[in-house]
Amino acid sequence: MAKQAKTAITPTREENYPLWYQQVVKAADMAENSDVRGCMVIKPWGYSIWENIQRTLDDKFKETGHVNAYFPLFIPKSFFEKEAEHVEGFAKECAVVTHTRLEDNGKGGLKPAGKLTEELIVRPTSETIIGASFAKWVNSYRDLPLLINQWANVVRWELRTRLFLRTTEFLWQEGHTVHATEKEAVDETMLILKLYADFARDYLAMPVIEGEKTESERFPGAESTFTFEAMMQDRKALQAGTSHFLGQKFAKASEIKFQNKDGREEFAWTTSWGVTTRLIGAIIMAHSDDNGLILPPRIAPKHVVIVPIYRNDEEKEKVLGFVSKLQEKIKTLRFDDKKIGVHVDNRDLRGGEKLWEWIKKGVPIRLEIGPRDVDGNSVFMGRRDLEPRDKKNVNVDEFTQNLISTLNEIQNNIYQKALNFQQQNIVKIDNKNDFYNFFTPKNKNNPEIHGGFARSHWCGNAKCEEQIKDDLKVTIRCIPLDAEQESGKCIYCDEESDKRVIFAKSY
């Protein structure tokens, strides 16, 4: 009987994309649901990817003059009442602390006690509490710009949650900056947007589209919100992060004022920006295949895994000696100015089982080394960007000489593949009927796999945007920064339009 083509992950992407996603997360041992509704446990493999994201971005923030600080987890309810739009945006998803003690409930259990006079909100974002500090810190133009970042946990009470993509508690960084002029604040907003987009392309191997959000998709209270959007393999858009120009709204709500060079008092201009653990979800969905996670080398916690193969003590000694020398050699090399992560999997399990585990975990390079490889001074190499069976013998010195360039090649391959996919699935559409057909799933049992991104004209009217959203669950992901001036007709109402925007279903 012929061997059936089988994948490590069931179901496949084609069969059931949402379930495939869950299975990839599980098979790679990255995260799991906790006993607290909507809150995830980030397991070591998933967390180490976050650590890499954090370290890389943190260095970039510092290079551009930002410093880290830490602000309270709790926000007094009254702070939330200061900026009307802002509270409107978050009031429906707030965790509220009302008590400060537990005491005996008389039935063998516990009940809350010590009622607070003013309730505290667990931060869903920190503009208001940070604004209160900034009001104290900023007095003169000499104190500006103030460029602060915070790495923290935040809570937004979500009804429908999905590991990494949407969880009640998530980890993020939130940048908050204060400037003397509108121009400086806008420049900061765009600087960070570019920093994020470059990071997504260069590290996460993820092609993204940078653009501005329409009014209905803006951050509550912002003057303008900029986003970078990535295409997942189900052709949906994922908002990978945002950078907000807040104008003087929050400065006015929090009284962030400064004396300008002429000695007059002015309200300052602020920005805020953030990316979250959702980026891990984006990596999974942009790159992984039906055998599990595929990690771009520049963000992988381990770059090389070595599985020693032996049948008896004599072979074991021979193989492990060779492996240990190779491991030491690899450790002396640097990729991306960091030590290469090399792991020898010595567990008492069958070789095939171990290899599949590392495939599912997405490690860029797997090496199998047995007695014959030792004799031939070679390694048997598999690359995660190629098929699992596509392995080859490589002389060990060649392997180490080429290791950095191989890792770069894998990084580029992964990026190119995602870029090709994105470009194939961004379509110019100028006809309402085509537009509606594009976004209507052909297979009702599998509605996730549908069109892709539509580049279409929009008149700028929120009503057209609303109607399309109601009809198709399709939203304007962004008005791309590089959109050319081009006259056309709104895809919904046929009114004049001067540029195309990106429509898509989204996460």
Interface with its own copies by CB under 8 A: which residues? Answer: 32, 34-36, 39-44, 47-48, 50-51, 67-77, 79-81, 87, 91-103, 109-110, 112, 114, 119-122, 129, 132-133, 136, 142, 148, 152-153, 155, 157, 169, 171, 347-348
Asked if the bond preceding 11 is cis, omega within 30° of 0, the reply is yes
Shortest separation between residue 288's beta carbon and its own copies, angstroms? 21
**Assigned token pair, 443:** 């297979």
Q: Which is nearer to its own copies, 41 or 462 (CB)?
A: 41
CB of 73 to its own copies, least distance (A): 5
CB of 47 to its own copies, least distance (A): 5
Nearer to its own copies, 123 or 244 (CB): 123
CB of 251 to its own copies, least distance (A): 17
Beta strand pairing status for 342-344 and 304-308?
parallel
Nearer to its own copies, 343 or 391 (CB): 343
Environment class of 397 (CB within 10 Å of its CB; exposed 0-12, middle 13-18, buried 19+): exposed
Whose tokens are 């080398």? That residue is 297
- Count CB atoms within 10 A of the CB of residue 501: 22
Task: Tell me the sheet residues that pair with 383.
Answer: 365
In the complex, what is the shortest distance from the CB of residue 157 to its own copies, in angstroms, rounded to a whole number?
4
By beta-carbon proximity to its own copies, the closer residue of 83 and 385 is 83
Residue 117 C-beta: closest distance to its own copies, Å: 10
115 - beta bridge partners? 99
DSSP label at residue 257: E
Contact present, 45 and 361 (Cβ < 8 Å): yes
**What's the closest the beta carbon of residue 145 comes to its own copies, in angstroms?**
13
Q: Tell me the C-alpha distance between 267 and 251, whole Å.
A: 6
- Tell me the residue ranges of DSSP E strands in 318-472: 334-335, 338-339, 342-344, 365-369, 378-383, 391-395, 426-428, 453-457
The C-alpha atoms of residue 209 and residue 202 are separated, in whole angstroms, by 14
Rounded to a whole number of angstroms, the minimum distance from the CB of residue 426 to its own copies is: 35
Residue 295 or 476: the one with the smaller Cβ distance to its own copies is 295
E strand map for 289-363: 304-308, 334-335, 338-339, 342-344
DSSP code of residue 204: S
Please calculate the CA angle 5-10-11 and round it to the nearest 5 degrees.
Answer: 105
Q: Please say which residue, 64 or 395, places its beta carbon nearer to its own copies.
A: 64
Nearest to its own copies of 154, 230 (CB atom): 154
Q: How far is the CB of 229 from its own copies (least distance, A)?
A: 26
Q: Find the helix or strand (DSSP H, E) in which 217 lies.
A: none
Which positions ≥6 away from 114 have C-beta within 8 Å?
A: 99, 100, 101
Tell me which residue of 12, 2, 505, 17 sits closest to 291, measured CA to CA. 12
Closer by beta carbon to its own copies, 93 or else 486: 93
Q: Indicate the residue among 151 and 356 with the shorter CB distance to its own copies.
A: 151
